[in-house]
């Protein structure tokens, strides 16, 4: 019985590790960074409205967690945000939690 319980616990742990593409990142920190850099202002210029359409539009280019992280890095470089890789990962975690829902 103990062995079956152990196997179930391990399966649940590995499933939760798979479910989060940015496990060492903090979405709350990412949200703060997005607000500090006023990312929405650029997105409004590109998309209109509240700017969130850039994340939810049909045919969006970001379709994987890796692509999201690369896009955040590109935006950081284009805007001279000065984010470190861990900042970019935090922003990606926030955007994933709020819009993308990658697992």
* Alpha carbon distance 8, 2 (integer Å): 10
pLDDT confidence of residue 36:
96
pLDDT confidence of residue 16:
45
Report the half-sphere exposure of 40 (CA within 13 A, side-chain side): 11
Report the half-sphere exposure of 41 (CA within 13 A, side-chain side): 5
Q: How many domains does the chain have?
A: 1
Q: Is the pTM higher than 0.85?
A: no
Contacts of 96 (CB under 8 A, 6+ apart): 21, 22, 27, 65, 68, 102
The pLDDT tens digits of the residues spanning 15-43 come to: 444 568 999 999 999 999 999 999 999 99
pLDDT confidence of residue 60:
86
The boundaries of the domain holding residue 46 are 2-100
């Amino acid at each position: 019985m103990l062995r079956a319980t152990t196997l179930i616990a391990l399966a649940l742990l590995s499933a939760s590790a798979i479910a989060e593409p940015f496990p060492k990142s903090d979405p709350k920190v990412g949200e703060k960074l997005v607000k500090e850099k006023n990312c929405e202002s650029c997105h409004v210029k590109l998309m209109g409205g509240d700017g969130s359409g850039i994340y939810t539009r049909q045919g969006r280019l970001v379709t994987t967690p890796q692509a999201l992280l690369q896009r955040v890095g590109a935006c950081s470089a284009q805007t001279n945000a000065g984010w470190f890789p861990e900042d970019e990962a935090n922003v990606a975690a926030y955007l994933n939690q709020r819009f993308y829902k990658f697992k």
